[in-house]
Amino acid sequence: MYSDMRPSDFSLKHLFYLAIRTNDTASRRFLRQQLGVNKLGQMLKAMAKDAGFLKHKRITNHSVRKFLVQKLRNANIPPTETMAITGHKNVQSITNYSNISVEQQQKCSFLLSPVYVTIQQIPLVNLHALNYGRNAA
């Protein structure tokens, strides 16, 4: 039904290049052009509501992009590949979006620690609690 309303040269590779035609007089309901930022934001809000996210959680295009960059970094995806996915122009802008994970912070802490302990021997804990525990001893 709706597939007949897509542009004739539509491809599944270009899902975000399918905008809704605002005038209903045409036989085709969709246009093969990039969705706008506002439309993507509206779609994101609707998806968050349908998914049952809490109303006080502010989910925006920017927060989703930051979340994606962080997930790719945690999965050890090279920055150049992350740039290709997110559309960033340089590596520095990706660095601004991401933080090191708790596991990476613990590895750094243990490398600097005078006591040699393997990461596998210590359960994942809050770094502040770990530091307070050392100072108390």
Residue 29 has pLDDT above 60, yes or no: yes
Nearest C-alpha neighbor of 102 from the set 115, 79, 82, 119? 119
Alpha-carbon distance of 79 to 94, in angstroms, equals 7
Residue 136: φ, ψ to 5° = -75, -25
- 137 falls in which pLDDT band (50, 70, 90)? very low
User: How many other CB atoms sit within 10 Å of the CB of residue 72?
Assistant: 20
Q: What is the pLDDT of residues 46-55, one digit of tens each?
A: 888 888 887 7
Residue 8 is predicted with a pLDDT of 65
